[in-house]
Amino acid sequence: MKVSPANFTPILNAIIPKMVTRRITYRLYPTRQQETQLHWARRMHCCLYNAAVANRKTQYQKFNHSVDYFEQQNSLPEFKEVWDEYKKLGSQTLQATLKRVDFAFKRFFKGLGKYPKFKSSRRYSGWDYPNKQSWRITTNNGVNGYLNLRDLGIILQIRGKARTWGIPKTCTIFWRSNKWYASITVECCPGRQTGIGAIGLDFGSKVAIATSDGELIESPKFLKQSQEKVTQLSKRLRRKRKPEKRKVKASRRWKKCQAQINKVKRKVANQRQDWTHKVAAQMVGGNSLVATEKLNIKGMTRKAKKGSKRKRQKSGLNRNLLDVAIGMLRESIKYKVIEAGGVFLEAPTQQLKPTQRCNNCWELTPKTLADRIHHCSHCAHVEDRDVNAAQVCLTWARGLEQAYARRRVAHPY
Ligand SMILES: [Zn+2]
């Protein structure tokens, strides 16, 4: 097996403990008066966002002039002279909203997103406090407490729990499904207990994870369970008066039904997140070396080509993959392993071919997607397809580890 020095970087990175940024979300409990203020601020930020988009648009169309972030930032004081209600809001939060516009345009210029749209104040999510001067959190080691927003002059009750608390850095207030939240980033040194085991993982669509120990973790079909309910509710929604551009307002029943749908969808998302973290914690709890293959989720979940016979099959695969949110699972296992001081190794899929290779004799046996069992044509080794792939990844990682140890003996540093 070829081993290049580039493969060692994850091992070296893992040894040095470093400060990392973690995000904690707290639920806010505003009083009725405070809630009015929060909605007011939200609408103000939305208007600023739209104004900034309009400014860029007209300047370019009429005067062929590209406005950048700094030009908008520098014109903020003048803007506040005209629209003096903005004086009540902190300048840094206003700058952060302009940054959002800048971010959207940069994405567009890179070809990553569509041209930034005007946003409806009904749906605009919230605003940021990029520095720690304009807000303050009072909490008992990250568990519950109070949040003081200085520009609005309100102290809010908050609930939530941080795994590891640290130095608070930024705060984002957002409004989602009729509830208020604060997302706070802290700089901390998280600690995590881990075993000395090593494990290979294969993420698939039939089962969520296959481990090298032969364990198959089924994906909970949250979406499937709730899909029926969403379909039913959407049907009801279609019979109600929906909002149309300016002229027709949504009926009260439409709004009510939409809220119900959002609630079910939010629940699915929460369940999925909870499941992901639990499984990831379980994997990392006993193992400090996790090996898997590089995965191209984008390619795997790409839509089937037009007119392709496999469209049904492909969309079924997509549904399954997205249901367990493999990307989310991988990422959370990865950061948890690194947090625990362990190693996360990704095998190069193209060269290693874990699904085809036999863990017993290291020879290749071509397979189709339908072959669920690995039947080695060279040494007659029989194993579950996904388990074998996970074992191959682990064997590959072990080989790397040994080569690394040998290198360290040869060149001690
Ligand atoms: Zn074999």
At 304-318, the pLDDT tens digits run: 455 555 555 545 544
pLDDT, position 119: 94
pLDDT, position 406: 65
Q: State in Å: Cα 359 to ligand 1 middle.
A: 7
Q: State in Å: Cα 153 to ligand 1 middle.
A: 70
Q: State in Å: Cα 365 to ligand 1 middle.
A: 8
Whether the Cβ atoms of residue 186 and residue 166 lie closer than 8 Å to each other:
yes
Whether the Cβ atoms of residue 207 and residue 217 lie closer than 8 Å to each other:
yes
Q: The tokens 């506040």 sit on which residue?
A: 80
- Does residue 159 have a pLDDT over 60? yes
User: What strands lie across the sheet with 216-217, from one edge to the other?
Assistant: 216-217, 209-211, 197-203, 287-293, 343-347
Q: State in Å: Cα 211 to ligand 1 middle.
A: 19
Q: State in Å: Cα 380 to ligand 1 middle.
A: 6
Q: State in Å: Cα 200 to ligand 1 middle.
A: 18
* 86-142 per-position pLDDT tens digit: 999 989 999 999 999 999 999 999 999 899 999 998 889 999 999 988 899 999 988
Q: State in Å: Cα 366 to ligand 1 middle.
A: 12
* 266-299 per-position pLDDT tens digit: 888 888 888 889 999 988 888 888 998 887 655 5
The answer to which of 187-191, 293-297, 335-339, 356-360 has the lowest mean pLDDT is 293-297
Q: State in Å: Cα 400 to ligand 1 middle.
A: 21
pLDDT, position 347: 86
Q: Which of 1-15, 165-179, 218-232, 233-247 has the highest mean pLDDT?
A: 165-179
Q: State in Å: Cα 390 to ligand 1 middle.
A: 15
Q: State in Å: Cα 374 to ligand 1 middle.
A: 9
**177 versus 408: which is more confidently predicted?**
177
Closest by CA position to 294, among listed 334, 258, 253, 346: 346
pLDDT, position 39: 96
* 346-369 per-position pLDDT tens digit: 888 888 888 888 888 888 888 887
**407 versus 26: which is more confidently predicted?**
26
Q: State in Å: Cα 363 to ligand 1 middle.
A: 6
Q: State in Å: Cα 381 to ligand 1 middle.
A: 5
Q: The tokens 């002059």 sit on which residue?
A: 153
* 192-233 per-position pLDDT tens digit: 877 888 899 988 767 788 888 888 888 777 767 777 888 889
DSSP annotation of 198 = E
pLDDT, position 245: 75
Q: State in Å: Cα 349 to ligand 1 middle.
A: 19
Q: State in Å: Cα 399 to ligand 1 middle.
A: 18
Average pLDDT over residues 30-41: 95
* 61-88 per-position pLDDT tens digit: 999 999 999 999 999 999 999 998 999 9
Q: State in Å: Cα 371 to ligand 1 middle.
A: 16
pLDDT, position 125: 93
**145 versus 410: which is more confidently predicted?**
145
To the nearest whole number, what is the mean pLDDT of the chain? 84
Confidence of residue 7 (pLDDT cuts 50, 70, 90): very low
Three-point CA angle 139, 281, 269, nearest 5°: 75
Percentage of the chain surpassing pLDDT 70? 85
DSSP annotation of 75 = T
pLDDT, position 403: 66
pLDDT, position 197: 85
